[in-house]
Each structure stands twice: as C-alpha cells, then as structure tokens.
C-alpha cells in the first residue's frame, strides 16, 4: 500500500511539473478580459465586409463599431476601435461543395465563433515581444462563453504580427474601407494586368473583380454596357451577365489593360488531340488527349456520360479533381487499341442528375494507319 501511495504521489508531482513547464513555455498574454463581449453588435455596429472562404468552407462577417468604421485608408485605426468577426460554416451539399445563392455567394450554416479585437491606449503590453500595436484579442462562442480566453490569446497576436505596422496589424483593411464584396473572385487585377485575360462563365453568373494592385484601376466595357467606379487597392466590382456573347472590357485609366468575358448557355466541353491538333476531332490509337470544361459551376465534381457507336454507356465519375474557382476542369489520357469507335460524350457538373450539363461532343478513334 505504501509503495502504491508513493507511486501515485510521484505521478501527481510529475504531472504538476509538466503543467508548470508547459505554462512557463506559453507565450505571454493578458490575464484579464479587457476586450469584452460586444453586446448588440449586429445592430449597433456597422457591417464592413463579408468574406467567402472556399478553402475551408467558411463565411467570415466583419463588423466595426462607429470608431473603427470611421477609420481612413492608410491611417491606423483610432483608439476605441472594436472589430468583430463572425465565423459561419457555409452550407454544403452531400459531396461537401458549398451551396451558392443566386448571386454565387456562400450561404450561412452554423455560427461557430465570434472573434473580437479591441484597440485602447496601453493595450497589448502583456503580449511582450508579440505585441502588435495596442490591440488585444478574445474569441467567444455564440453562447458568449470563451472559445479563446485572454491568457490563451497570444496565438491571435502572433497571427496578426504578419500583417505589419503599416496596416495597423489588421487583415484586409483595404477591403473593409473600400467596401469590397468578399465574393470569391473571378479575376484579380495585379501588376497592371487582368488575370485571367479571358473569363468564361454561364449565362446568369455574377462576375467579381478585385483590385489587388497598388494603384487605382477602373473597369469599363468597350460597348458601354457596364462600368465600375474608381477601384483603389482592395476594392471590388461585380456584374451579372445574363446574355450569351463576348464582352470586351478595359481599364480607362490604363488603356493597355484589356480582357474579355465570354458568356455561354451551358458549360463548354472540348476534347483536344495533344499529339496532332490538325486531326481534331479525329484521333488515332496512341494519340494523347486533353478533355477540358470551362464556364461550369465552381468547386464542383465532374461526371461523364458516354455513347459508343450510338449505344448509351451511362454515367460514370466523378473524375479527377473538382472544377476550380473559375469553373474550369481538365483531364488527360491516351487512346488505346480498345477505344476504336465513334464516341459522344457529355459532361455533367455537380451531380449525375444532369441539372447542369454540357452539349454533346462527337469524336472518332481509329487504328493508326
């Protein structure tokens, strides 16, 4: 019995020592909550920005009190500023894809976190070397209990260090102050270029451009059908395209900047003969091929329906990765001796129910002469 008690005491002492060591290694942080849960922020504060995060399936909604909302681009946030970020899970279908609303935006599912940062004179000292200006941080759950307590908030301070003093340690300040939409972009303006130079979308798609350049740009259609205001860094512009056609546009401030939106009635499907483009749409056995889809729903799986010599072989898939943030997808391969036939293929986007499908593509595979 005595040995057992000694062993238990040893484990207890060792455990306490480990806890003390872990605590001594934790980065310094405030011990008291000087941030405070912002009661009534959804009605009392100004909505600054709603960001769709396709990489992690989240919606981030940022509010600012009157002091923070009055901050000017290029200047630090005034003392007394409070910023609140709600983190929502985006609604998803059975395959884990975000369910978009008619404007192509994520839809809110469950609210998981209410993150709050507050700036006051003398705040932040407790973070030691990780101090970023005069901000302190706390994260709450929707029931107002702590998700991240002040003593554990050093991780937030460390994260915000990467933003730098020039932006007062606050992410996306240009987006807040220039009222960007927060939609997943179809195009980024960088280094005096529209990227990509050609955007292909389905009719009914809302296209969003972001200015990620250090200078102001504008967007204007060559035919005058749409135009933006001046877009400083961080600003965005959205426009819905409901009619098919090609829409060329430029930056009136920098006329050499030109690009195009191509609007189609269904996803565009193309099969290319990589070995010999001159034989398209005919192939020989041994030819390499590349199947491409453009203007489909973004971040969606791709299925294929095949017909061989007129016989419907049904639907298979999904194939490869999902369509990307622009609705594009590709797959490559080589035709073998068992593929000689006349083929038709059709792409089905999102699910096999053909709610979104391309037109059929015809091709022939023959034995090499």
Tens of pLDDT, residue by residue, the chain (369 residues) = 444 433 333 434 444 444 444 445 789 999 999 999 999 999 999 999 999 998 889 999 999 999 999 998 889 999 999 999 999 999 988 777 788 887 778 999 999 999 999 999 999 999 999 999 999 999 999 999 999 999 999 999 999 999 999 889 999 888 888 888 898 888 999 999 999 998 888 888 889 999 999 899 999 999 999 999 999 999 999 999 988 899 999 999 999 999 999 888 888 888 899 998 777 778 999 999 999 998 888 788 899 999 999 999 999 989 888 888 778 899 999 999 999 999 999 999 888 876 788 888 899 999 987
Predicted pLDDT of residue 354? 66
Edge to edge, what strands does the sheet with 82-90 contain? 46-53, 58-64, 82-90, 108-119, 135-140, 146-148
Q: What is the DSSP letter of 327?
A: S
- Quote the distance between the C-alpha of residue 180 and its chain's center: 14
Length of the chain: 369
Distance separating alpha carbons of residues 55 and 259, to the nearest angstrom: 27
pTM of the model: 0.67
Predicted pLDDT of residue 5? 39
Q: At the fourth CATH level, which superfamily is domain 268-366?
A: Coagulation Factor XIII, subunit A, domain 1 (2.70.50.30)
Are 290 and 271 in contact, with CB atoms under 8 Å apart?
Answer: yes
- For residue 199, count CB atoms less than 10 angstroms from its CB and return exposed for 0-12, middle for 13-18, buried for 19 or more: buried
Distance separating alpha carbons of residues 150 and 169, to the nearest angstrom: 18
- Quote the distance between the C-alpha of residue 153 and its chain's center: 26
Distance separating alpha carbons of residues 340 and 222, to the nearest angstrom: 47
Q: Residue 283: which H helix or E strand, with range?
A: strand 282-284
Edge to edge, what strands does the sheet with 288-294 contain? 268-273, 288-294, 329-334
Bin 4: left if φ > 0, else alpha if -120 < ψ < 50, else beta.
Answer: alpha
DSSP class per residue in 312-323: EEEEE---SSPP
Q: Out of 3.10.20.600, 3.30.200.20, 3.40.640.10, 3.50.70.20, which CATH number does the structure's domain 41-177 have?
A: 3.50.70.20
Nearest one of 306, 214, 208, 225 to 254, comparing CA atoms: 214
Distance separating alpha carbons of residues 199 and 204, to the nearest angstrom: 14
Could you tell me where the beta strands, DSSP code E, fall in 120-219?
A: 135-140, 146-148, 187-190, 193-195, 198-202, 205-211
H-type alpha helices, the chain: 2-25, 41-44, 66-69, 154-161, 173-177
Nearest one of 318, 234, 274, 243 to 49, comparing CA atoms: 234
Domain locations in the chain as residue ranges = 41-177, 187-264, 268-366
Q: Out of 3.40.50.720, 2.60.40.10, 2.120.10.30, 2.60.40.420, which CATH number does the structure's domain 187-264 have?
A: 2.60.40.420
Are 179 and 237 in contact, with CB atoms under 8 Å apart?
Answer: no
User: How far from 218 is each of 156, 251, 253, CA to CA, in Å?
Assistant: 36, 5, 7
Distance separating alpha carbons of residues 292 and 296, to the nearest angstrom: 11
Q: Write b or e for each residue in 256-286: b if 16 or more Cβ atoms lie within 10 A of its Cβ, otherwise e.
A: ebebebbbbebbbbebebeeeeeeeeebbee
Q: Is the peptide bond before 281 cis (omega within 30 degrees of 0)?
A: yes
């Amino acid at each position: 019995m005595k040995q057992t008690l000694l062993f238990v005491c040893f484990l207890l002492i060792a455990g306490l020592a480990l806890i003390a060591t872990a605590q001594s290694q934790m980065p310094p942080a405030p011990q008291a909550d000087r941030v405070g849960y912002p009661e009534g922020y959804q009605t009392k504060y100004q909505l600054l920005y709603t960001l769709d995060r396709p990489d992690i399936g989240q919606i981030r909604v940022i509010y600012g009190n009157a002091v923070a909302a009055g901050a000017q681009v290029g200047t630090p946030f005034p003392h007394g500023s409070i910023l609140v970020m709600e983190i929502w899970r985006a609604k998803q279908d059975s395959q884990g894809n975000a369910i978009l609303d008619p404007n192509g935006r994520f839809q809110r599912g469950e609210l998981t976190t209410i993150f709050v940062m507050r700036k006051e004179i003398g705040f932040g000292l407790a973070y030691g070397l990780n101090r970023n200006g005069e901000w302190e941080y706390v994260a709450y759950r929707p029931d107002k209990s702590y998700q991240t307590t002040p003593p554990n908030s050093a991780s937030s301070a460390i994260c915000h260090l990467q933003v730098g003093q020039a932006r007062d340690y606050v992410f996306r300040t240009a987006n807040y102050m220039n009222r960007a939409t927060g939609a997943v972009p179809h195009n980024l303006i960088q280094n005096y270029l529209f990227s990509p130079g050609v955007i292909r979308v389905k009719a009914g798609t809302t296209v969003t451009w972001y200015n990620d350049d250090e200078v102001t740009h504008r967007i204007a259609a060559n035919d005058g059908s749409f135009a933006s205001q001046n877009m400083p860094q961080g600003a965005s512009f959205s426009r819905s395209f409901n009619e098919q056609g090609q829409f060329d546009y430029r930056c009136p401030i920098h006329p050499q900047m030109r690009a195009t939106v191509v609007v189609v009635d269904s996803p565009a499907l193309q099969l290319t003969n990589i070995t010999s483009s001159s034989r398209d749409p005919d192939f020989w056995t041994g030819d390499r091929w590349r199947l491409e889809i453009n203007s489909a729903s973004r971040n969606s799986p791709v299925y294929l329906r095949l017909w061989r010599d007129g016989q419907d072989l049904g639907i298979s898939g999904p194939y490869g990765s999902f369509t990307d943030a622009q609705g594009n997808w590709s797959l490559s391969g080589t035709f073998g001796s068992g593929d000689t036939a006349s083929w038709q293929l059709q792409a089905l986007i999102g699910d096999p129910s053909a709610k979104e499908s391309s037109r059929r593509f015809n091709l022939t595979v023959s034995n090499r002469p």
